[in-house]
């Protein structure tokens, strides 16, 4: 496989893993929000804790320094949060929301995929 083919596979795997990680974090935070703000069952805290544990574990699966992973993950989190706004909260994102996501994803791409000294 050539360089661009390998890069494309790496990028897809990285963004997909970040996406799953972001979903685990959002669910882990949304369930307590439902309990606190909507008066839902306190039992929602159990799956919330499990989801947040999954979130933390998923972050460890990236083969680079923790600080770089955390910084880059934030860009994908922004995108998933805006999708959540639309799909779960029922609020259509504005053009500014979409622009913000694109900027955040651009930052993620620079942090994760920039050339580094060996």
- For 76, residues 6+ apart whose C-beta sits below 8 A from its C-beta are 15, 18, 19, 21, 22, 104, 105, 108
Q: What is the pLDDT of residue 68?
A: 86
Give pLDDT tens digits for 23-76.
Answer: 999 999 999 999 999 999 999 999 999 999 999 999 899 878 788 888 888 999
Give pLDDT tens digits for 79-113.
Answer: 999 999 999 999 999 999 999 999 999 999 998 88
Q: What is the pLDDT of residue 67?
A: 86
> Would you state the torsion angle of the CA atoms of residues 69, 12, 114, 97, taken in this order, to the nearest 10 degrees?
-70
Annotated domain spans of the chain: 3-113
Whether 118 has a pLDDT exceeding 80, the answer reads no
The DSSP code for 92 is P
Q: What is the pLDDT of residue 102?
A: 96
Are 75 and 14 within 8 A, CB to CB?
no
Whether 8 has a pLDDT exceeding 90, the answer reads no
Are 108 and 18 within 8 A, CB to CB?
yes
């Amino acid at each position: 496989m050539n360089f661009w083919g390998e890069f494309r596979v790496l990028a897809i795997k990285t963004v997909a893993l970040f996406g799953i990680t972001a979903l685990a974090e959002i669910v882990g935070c949304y369930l307590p929000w439902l309990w606190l703000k909507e008066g839902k069952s306190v039992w929602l805290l159990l799956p919330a804790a499990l989801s947040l544990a999954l979130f933390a574990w998923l972050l460890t699966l990236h083969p680079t320094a923790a600080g770089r992973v955390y910084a880059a993950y934030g860009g994908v989190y922004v995108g998933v949060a805006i999708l959540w706004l639309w799909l779960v909260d029922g609020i259509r994102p504005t053009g500014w929301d979409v622009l913000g996501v694109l900027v955040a994803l651009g930052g993620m791409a620079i942090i994760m995929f920039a050339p580094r000294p060996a």
